Chain A
Amino acid sequence: MMFSKYLPFFPDQASTIAWQVDALYLFLVAITIFFTGLVAAMVLTFSIKYRKEKNPIATQIEGSVPLEIMWSVIPLGIAMVIYVWAAILYFNMERAPKQAMEIYVVGKQWMWKVQHPSGPREINQLHIPVDQNVRLTMISQDVLHSFSIPEFRVKHEVLPGRYTQLWFNANKTGTYHLFCTQYCGTKHSGMIGEIIVMEPAMYQAWLSGGSGEGSLASNGEKLFTSLGCVTCHSGQSGARGPNLAGAFGNPVKLADGRTVVADENYVRESILNPQAKIVAGFGPIMPTFTGQINEESLIQLVAYVKSLQAEKQTTTGAVAGSTTNPNPEPKQGKPTK
């Protein structure tokens, strides 16, 4: 929908959600033009028709209850239509579909670091296959950032200290803008990059041309051993820590009686701040790893814990390029604290 090269009005529509956002936008533009036109017409016709030269004596009018009701209720009705429409759209944007390939993003002043599950890493670039649900799990190493792809009409803040998620389905190959839209200091406007949407075959080729560093989960497994996690989380009965296999995505009973679902943020917190939520039946003996593991390694550990799932179950991910399985549970939504 590029109107002209020099005076564009719309960014490319390159995701499945883009036209839906545009439709709502155009509806609102129409509403805006209509009401601005109406008000302008009222103001101008009245003030020209009843200008002092034409109408030296004003007719004193008190007001009108029916009119007040009319111009409260009609705008209210229209507002409610927009509200519901936009809310449905928002829920579709915020809740990732069950089947989605997962990519991890770390934002820092002033770059984007991307890790694909099967190993490749990139900076300020994100390669993805076309026509595929992609879910980004994102975290910041320092200040707030925000991951924005205008051509996809999606955006989400990237926070320090907890994962947020963003999903999209790119339906048009090409190269698109990536912006950090949350002001983040000196080189905020340099925190940009490219989203490269490729045919699946090309994407596979791109993946296999990667650095050969091993998958995220396998790197996580190495950390799991080297950091000594495995000594307590051996998975054997009688181990000092709970068996992590199958834990991810499932409810966990806590010592204080609460039940929480083990999502990415829960695993992250369990590593950095183990005392915050103690699993029922275990003592608060897990040491904190705060300051010892950077965000990228944490992501690898999280990916590993997630993958432990896969060993238990035999479903293979229907998602190209993903070595981790999609969540077995229809766990949806972005993680919240």
Chain B
Amino acid sequence: MSTAVTDVVVTETHVMPEEHYLNADHSLKSWLLTQDHKRIAILYMLTITFFFFVGGIMASLVRLELLTPAGDLLESDTYNKAFTMHGVMMIFFFLIPSVPATLGNFLIPMMIGAKDLAFPKINLLSWYIFVVGACFGLAAMITGGVDTGWTFYAPLSTTYSNTNVILTAVGILIAGFASIFTGLNFIVTIHKMRAPGQTWFRLPLFVWAHYAASIIMVLGTPVIAITLILVALERGFHIGIFDPRLGGDPILFQHMFWFYSHPAVYIMILPGMGVISEVVTTFSHKRIFGYKAIAFSSVAIAVFGFLVWAHHMFIAGISMYAALIFSLISFLVAIPSAIKVFNWSATLYKGSVRWNTPMLYAFGFIGLFTIGGLTGLFLAALGLDVHLTETYFIVAHFHYVMVGGMVLAYLCGIHHWWPKMTGRLYPELPAKLSALLVFVGFNLTFMPQFILGYLGMPRRYHSYPPEWQVLNVLSTAGASILAIGFLLPMLYLVWSLKYGQVAGPNPWESTGLEWETSSPPPSHNFHETPVVTSEPYNYGEKEGEV
């Protein structure tokens, strides 16, 4: 393979392959009964895009309400339902499946040179389960909504709320099984289906990241399932687990909820990190800096991520000594993330860097994730968390990681692999513009929220003291820019399906196995089973250490 980068994209003209997974069969039935991981990925993509926009509408309602200090646009109950449904939709029906169920599904078999996932039928089943769960969530919303906050804290959720708690919980519970099946499928596939020569240390980091995330999905999701079942039982039969008036303990709920929901943020972010590793190497045409450090840091995050849950409860009356330990481990879990950020940055050093759209998103990810991670330290710091927890600082931190990190990584990956999935290139200019809008809009939305948080503005407030209006107006203004940034890709990506330039098998000149086959790939991925003979990111001869 040559080290020189030539501008294949513009100079060569490609033709679409004659047969590929998209045109193999056009009937609706062939889509709904498909066992092709690539088609299932597309099904997932359409589904979660829908939920992203449902969640987005809820977010818009929240931001519009907060334009003025008085709670004047929505009723209190409506407002509470809006932020609850925003959280539920975005977390359970968009972020958790986002990268794994779409890009992971599409790419893992291709990256390891396999024909499909280990259990194609279970893969299809997982999509159906997800849709059923999501429909429950949607039904809960349409028939009146739920107002407990996405955290479902007891005893509000078990005893006091008279909204659709059980219906929503059932939806999340069902969708959880989809997540478990996907995780299982990935783990088995990565263990068993690697092409000849594809050793563990020749796996792309995207695969490592998904492996780590899958472990969390399989181990963590049952706990949220049990927790939600207990909430439903408590609501229905007053069994006395969480409600102190029945002899239960509301803090127990928090322990159980966060035992899943903290690691769940790693289910969301790890696959995104995998995307970034692929994109940064491709667009700097260079080996990844510190392959093993990045690979093992994913595993470290997955393991230590299970041991920090009580950092959400420092002021909830847990023992001070428990708080000491949870704070310490929370600081430790930040280190693997720091390692990744430094390694990505170092990968650019002496690279041959192209500023294509996916790379812009990757830059955005690195910057925003760094801020998200560092502001996590504020919250892991016991004495500071007391002031910051339950305020807009939490909201801002969380969105820096989940939107600035994860959603950017998702968009980054969608743009990066769009030519592979569809065979077409999107137009660069609007794509770059939307990346810029997302970056600017995002910062304008959430930077003021850090300040609001330090000022003490509580989260989930329908009205607020007038002296905080300017910051809230800034935030809402940013959100409108962000919304345009998110809508724009919908337009030009759909446009490109028909009018986009034909991409050819490897428009970015990447070394990944998935780029060796045609775009879009044939139904069975590879015409011949590939044989792997070198490490990933083999963009040329090694020239040793710096």
* A interface residues, Cβ below 8 angstroms from B: 5-11, 20-21, 24-25, 28, 31-32, 35-36, 39-40, 42-43, 46-47, 50-52, 55-65, 67-68, 71-72, 75-76, 79-80, 82-83, 85-95, 109, 142-144, 146, 148, 150-151, 153-157, 159-162, 164, 177, 179-190, 333-334, 336
* Contact, CB under 8 Å: B287 / A60: yes
* Contact, CB under 8 Å: B545 / A177: no
**Which B353-372 residues have a C-beta within 8 angstroms of A?**
353-355, 359, 363, 366-367, 370-371
* Contact, CB under 8 Å: A72 / B387: no
Q: Report the minimal beta-carbon distance from A166 to chain B, rounded to whole angstroms.
A: 9
CA distance A177 to B456 in the complex (A): 9
Please give, as numbers and ranges, the residues of chain B lying within 8 Å of A28 by CB-CB distance: 374, 377-378, 381, 384
Q: Report the minimal beta-carbon distance from B493 to chain A, rounded to whole angstroms.
A: 25
* Contact, CB under 8 Å: B463 / A189: yes
* Contact, CB under 8 Å: B463 / A164: no
* Contact, CB under 8 Å: A24 / B290: no
New contact pairs (18) apart from A40-B367, A43-B363, A50-B349, CB-CB < 8 Å = A7-B470, A9-B451, A28-B378, A39-B366, A42-B345, A47-B359, A50-B284, A51-B352, A55-B351, A56-B5, A59-B351, A82-B377, A86-B385, A150-B455, A159-B316, A184-B156, A186-B77, A334-B317
> Which residue of B148, B149, B287, B387 contacts A153 across the interface (Cβ within 8 Å)?
B387
Among B45-53, B134-142, B331-339, which stretch is in contact with chain A?
B331-339
* Contact, CB under 8 Å: A160 / B353: no
Knowing A35-B374, A43-B367 are in contact, say whether A25-B386 is a contact too (CB < 8 A).
no
CA distance A88 to B386 in the complex (A): 13
* Contact, CB under 8 Å: A75 / B383: no
Q: Report the minimal beta-carbon distance from B86 to chain A, rounded to whole angstroms.
A: 13
Please give, as numbers and ranges, the residues of chain A lying within 8 Å of B359 by CB-CB distance: 47
Say yes or no for B499: interface residue by CB 8 A criterion.
no
Nearest residue, chain B, Cβ from A62: B542
* Contact, CB under 8 Å: A24 / B315: no
* Contact, CB under 8 Å: B328 / A64: no
* Contact, CB under 8 Å: B339 / A68: yes
> Which residue of B285, B387, B545 contacts A154 across the interface (Cβ within 8 Å)?
B387
Say yes or no for B437: interface residue by CB 8 A criterion.
no
CA distance A154 to B315 in the complex (A): 10
Please give, as numbers and ranges, the residues of chain A lying within 8 Å of B367 by CB-CB distance: 36, 39-40, 43
CA distance A51 to B324 in the complex (A): 46
Please give, as numbers and ranges, the residues of chain A lying within 8 Å of B332 by CB-CB distance: 76, 79
Please give, as numbers and ranges, the residues of chain A lying within 8 Å of B12 by CB-CB distance: none
Most chain B CB atoms below 10 A, which of A40, A82, A154: A82
Please give, as numbers and ranges, the residues of chain A lying within 8 Å of B259 by CB-CB distance: none
* Contact, CB under 8 Å: B328 / A46: no
* Contact, CB under 8 Å: B153 / A183: yes
Please give, as numbers and ranges, the residues of chain B lying within 8 Å of A62 by CB-CB distance: 287, 289, 291, 542, 544-545
Q: Report the minimal beta-carbon distance from A170 to chain B, rounded to whole angstroms.
A: 15
* Contact, CB under 8 Å: B350 / A61: yes
CA distance A58 to B81 in the complex (A): 52
* Contact, CB under 8 Å: B383 / A88: yes
* Contact, CB under 8 Å: B386 / A154: yes
> Which residue of B71, B371, B383 contacts A87 across the interface (Cβ within 8 Å)?
B383
> Which residue of A42, A46, A51, A159 contacts B251 across the interface (Cβ within 8 Å)?
A159
* Contact, CB under 8 Å: A61 / B352: no
* Contact, CB under 8 Å: B382 / A86: yes
> Which residue of A68, A88, A93, A142 contacts B290 across the interface (Cβ within 8 Å)?
A68
* Contact, CB under 8 Å: B3 / A58: yes
* Contact, CB under 8 Å: A52 / B352: yes
* Contact, CB under 8 Å: B456 / A90: no
Please give, as numbers and ranges, the residues of chain B lying within 8 Å of A75 by CB-CB distance: 334-335, 338
Q: Interface 1/0s, chain B 254-297, versus A by CB < 8 A?
A: 00000000000000000000000000000011111111110000
* Contact, CB under 8 Å: B383 / A92: yes
* Contact, CB under 8 Å: A51 / B353: yes
Say yes or no for B494: interface residue by CB 8 A criterion.
no
CA distance A63 to B80 in the complex (A): 49
Q: Report the minimal beta-carbon distance from A331 to chain B, rounded to whole angstroms.
A: 14
CA distance A11 to B473 in the complex (A): 19
> Which residue of A61, A83, A86, A109 contacts B286 across the interface (Cβ within 8 Å)?
A61
CA distance A144 to B245 in the complex (A): 13
Please give, as numbers and ranges, the residues of chain B lying within 8 Å of A184 by CB-CB distance: 156
Q: Interface 1/0s, chain B 441-470, versus A by CB < 8 A?
A: 000000000010011101111111101101
CA distance A334 to B378 in the complex (A): 23
* Contact, CB under 8 Å: B381 / A83: yes
Please give, as numbers and ranges, the residues of chain B lying within 8 Å of A76 by CB-CB distance: 332, 335
* Contact, CB under 8 Å: B382 / A109: no
Q: Interface 1/0s, chain B 148-179, versus A by CB < 8 A?
A: 11010101100111000000000000000000
Nearest residue, chain B, Cβ from A291: B245
Q: Interface 1/0s, chain B 222-259, versus A by CB < 8 A?
A: 00000000000000000000001100011100000000
Q: Report the minimal beta-carbon distance from B113 to chain A, rounded to whole angstroms.
A: 23
CA distance A90 to B322 in the complex (A): 12
Can you pick out 22 interface pairs between chain A and chain B where the beta carbons lie within 8 Å of each other? A10-B454, A32-B371, A40-B367, A46-B349, A50-B352, A56-B352, A57-B4, A61-B349, A61-B350, A63-B343, A63-B545, A65-B545, A76-B332, A80-B331, A86-B385, A87-B324, A142-B155, A143-B156, A148-B456, A153-B387, A185-B147, A189-B76
Say yes or no for B440: interface residue by CB 8 A criterion.
no
Q: Report the minimal beta-carbon distance from A202 to chain B, rounded to whole angstroms.
A: 25
Knowing A50-B353, A82-B381 are in contact, say whether A185-B317 is a contact too (CB < 8 A).
no
Knowing A20-B383, A47-B348, A89-B382 are in contact, say whether A181-B467 is a contact too (CB < 8 A).
no
Say yes or no for B389: interface residue by CB 8 A criterion.
yes
* Contact, CB under 8 Å: A61 / B289: yes
CA distance A159 to B315 in the complex (A): 11
* Contact, CB under 8 Å: A46 / B345: yes
Say yes or no for B306: interface residue by CB 8 A criterion.
no
Chain A to chain B: the 10 pairs with minimum beta-carbon distance, closest first: A150-B456, A89-B383, A161-B244, A90-B382, A86-B381, A46-B348, A181-B390, A189-B461, A59-B350, A63-B290
